[in-house]
């Protein structure tokens, strides 16, 4: 069998290394992935930074010291990312997850204390030399953002990617489907991935006003080139609907061998996982072609 299903490392490799960090990306590359997925936000001084939540997360981030003596915004954890400048965000430690008995990743992810929050520019510098590996960049906006701010954010993200010559290897992702029109307007050649999960399909404001009853068709009508539903909602009928519309399907986030095998048999274009090492094993057992490992010249604690 010579089937090519993409392995996408979720937040780098969240189950193995601290999420959305350069060490997670380096580790994913060293294992061998087709794409690295990560989340971006926007600092108060206009720098695109890597973080999953729109507020600084207490689960994945901890304070160290104020950016300057007497900083009234310190501590920074719990504050909106957009309210903090890069110098403040750079003091955060993104290498250790908080003590949470319900968090499965603390048990499987290697803690790397002292890992700083990364910028998109830094991520591009690390991922750029890994030719053939795609960057799947999720924009963390929501319906409360004014449309002009969404457009500005998209523009700034594209500007950084273009500066590294990576637009042709990039896919932009989002639950707030307004990013689709802005990306198509600014860089129509960049692939656009419409993310979907049950909560966002109950409110059309997430879908740029589109009809949530037929999410695949709505994604296509809003300008998506790829449809990416959460695994809990992807069944044979939804897969057939998207495929019939010509939309490749990327499923997220799949972390068990049984589920991985199911979606491989279904015929999805890509599987997003926190455990790309496990997905490689499952794919090899099913006769799928695997991406080659790539070790960065200066790996960051792979």
Q: What integer pLDDT is reported at residue 295 of this predicted model?
A: 84
Intervals of the chain under pLDDT 70:
1-3, 297-302
Q: What integer pLDDT is reported at residue 30 of this predicted model?
A: 96
Q: What integer pLDDT is reported at residue 301 of this predicted model?
A: 57
Measured CA distances, 233 to 92, 202, 242, 260, 281 (Å): 35, 13, 13, 15, 25
Asked if residue 41 lies in contact with residue 82, where contact means CB atoms within 8 angstroms, the answer is yes
Measured CA distances, 122 to 8, 53, 118, 132, 161 (Å): 19, 19, 6, 18, 11
Provide the whole-model pTM: 0.96
Asked if residue 78 lies in contact with residue 51, where contact means CB atoms within 8 angstroms, the answer is no
DSSP state of 164: T
Reading the block at residue 185, the tokens are 């307007």
Rounded to 5°, the CA angle 69-75-80 comes to: 120
Q: What integer pLDDT is reported at residue 116 of this predicted model?
A: 97
């Amino acid at each position: 069998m010579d089937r090519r299903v993409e392995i996408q490392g979720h937040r780098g490799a969240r189950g193995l290394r601290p999420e959305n960090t350069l060490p997670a990306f380096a580790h994913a590359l060293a294992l061998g992935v087709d794409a690295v997925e990560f989340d971006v936000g926007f600092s108060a001084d206009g720098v695109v930074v890597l973080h999953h939540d729109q507020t600084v997360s207490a689960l994945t981030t901890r304070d160290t010291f104020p950016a300057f003596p007497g900083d009234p915004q310190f501590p920074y954890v719990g504050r909106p990312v957009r309210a903090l400048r890069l110098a403040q965000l750079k003091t955060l430690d993104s290498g250790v997850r908080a003590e949470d008995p319900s968090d499965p990743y603390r048990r499987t992810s290697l803690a790397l204390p002292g890992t700083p929050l990364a910028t998109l520019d830094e991520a591009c510098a690390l991922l750029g030399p890994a030719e053939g590996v795609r960057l799947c960049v999720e924009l963390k906006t929501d319906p409360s953002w004014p449309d002009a701010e969404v457009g500005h954010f998209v523009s700034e993200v594209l500007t950084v990617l273009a500066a590294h010559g990576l637009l042709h290897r990039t896919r932009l992702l989002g639950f707030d489907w307004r990013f689709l029109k802005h990306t198509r307007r600014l860089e129509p050649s960049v692939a656009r991935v419409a993310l979907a999960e049950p909560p966002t399909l109950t409110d059309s404001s997430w879908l740029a006003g589109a009809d949530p009853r037929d999410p695949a068709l709505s994604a296509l009508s809003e300008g998506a080139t790829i449809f990416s539903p959460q695994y809990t909602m992807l069944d044979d009928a939804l897969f057939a609907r998207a495929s019939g519309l010509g939309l490749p399907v990327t499923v997220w986030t799949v972390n068990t061998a049984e589920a991985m095998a199911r979606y491989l048999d279904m015929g999805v274009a890509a599987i997003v996982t926190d455990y790309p090492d496990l997905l490689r094993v499952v794919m090899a057992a099913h006769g799928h072609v695997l991406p080659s490992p790539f070790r960065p010249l200066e790996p960051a604690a792979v």
